[in-house]
Structure formats: C-alpha cells, structure tokens
Amino acid sequence: MILLSSLSSRIAAAAEFGTKEEAVAMVKRVQAKFKAEGAEATFKSVSDKADPEFHDRDLYPFVYDMAGVNVAHGARPALIGKNLLTLKDQDGKFLIRDMRDLVNAKGSGWYDYKWPNPITNKIEDKTSYVERMGDYWVGVGVYR
C-alpha cells in the first residue's frame, strides 16, 4: 500500500511538469504552424500565453533568428526584439549563441543550461530541444 501511494504521488508530480517528448512535440507543432501560416502568425501564437497549443504547464516555445534576436517567447515577452547572442546563464554559458551554433551544425539537438522557471520563479537546470526553422530556430525546454 505504501509503495502504491509513493508511486501515485510521483506520477502526479511528474504530470505537473512537461517531458522531453512533449517538448519535442511542441517544437514540431511550432514548425507545422510556421510552414502552414508563416512567421507572423507563428510568432504571435508562440508569444500569446493564452494559446494552449504552445503553453502547457512549464512548457513554452522560444524563437530566435540566426543573429540572436528573439522574435517570439512563450514565457518572457520582454525578451522579444532583443539580441541575446551574448546572454550568459549562471554558469557563464553563452546559451543563445550555443543553441544557434548547435542548430547550424546539426540541425537539431538538446542543450543544457540554467534559466528562470516561470512557475517557481527560481533559476533551475533546464535542457531544451532546439531545431532549425528556415532562417530561424525554435526551442522548447524542460526543467530538470
């Protein structure tokens, strides 16, 4: 009985947060919208916190151009329009530059860094799946 109770509480806690699989699926949804409706409609939806297609618990997309300018952000709209290529995380990693370089080199992949969690408002370990999208790249991360 105790084992079952412990397992149930772990499953409930896991459901509070997005998974890596859900992050990849959200990136694919952003890309599908980009292909079908274009950049402007996609960036608007990504940045609209009321759009459930791109906002699920702690999951949200972010989109940058290849110069490092944020063009859409699902959690921090104040970043839109800013060049963040030289932004460093708590460990001194150039996260935007590194993610851009990853998509340029491989097309897609996972990147580990530290970022504010929109639910807890604390700096937490995060890993994001990033993928090239035309002249842009899109990412969705999970807090670890």
Mutual angle of helices 39-47 and 20-37, in 10-degree steps:
140
Q: What is the pLDDT of residue 120?
A: 85
Closest among 62, 59, 68, 24 to 43, alpha carbons compared: 62
CATH number at residue 53: 3.30.450.20
Question: Could you give the 3-state DSSP secondary structure of residue 98?
Answer: helix
Is 11 part of a structural domain of the chain? no
pTM comes to 0.87
Phi, psi at 20, each rounded to 5°: -60, -40
Is 10 part of a structural domain of the chain? no
Domain that holds residue 25: 18-143
Is 7 part of a structural domain of the chain? no
Residue 13 pLDDT greater than 80, yes or no: no
Is 12 part of a structural domain of the chain? no
pLDDT per position as a tens digit, 80-96: 999 999 999 999 999 99
Closest among 110, 105, 70 to 87, alpha carbons compared: 70
- Alpha helices, DSSP H only, in 54-135? 95-106
Sign of CA dihedral 12, 16, 20, 21: positive
Is 80 part of a structural domain of the chain? yes
Task: Count the domains in the chain.
Answer: 1
pLDDT per position as a tens digit, 45-104: 999 999 999 999 999 999 999 999 999 999 999 999 999 999 999 999 999 999 999 999
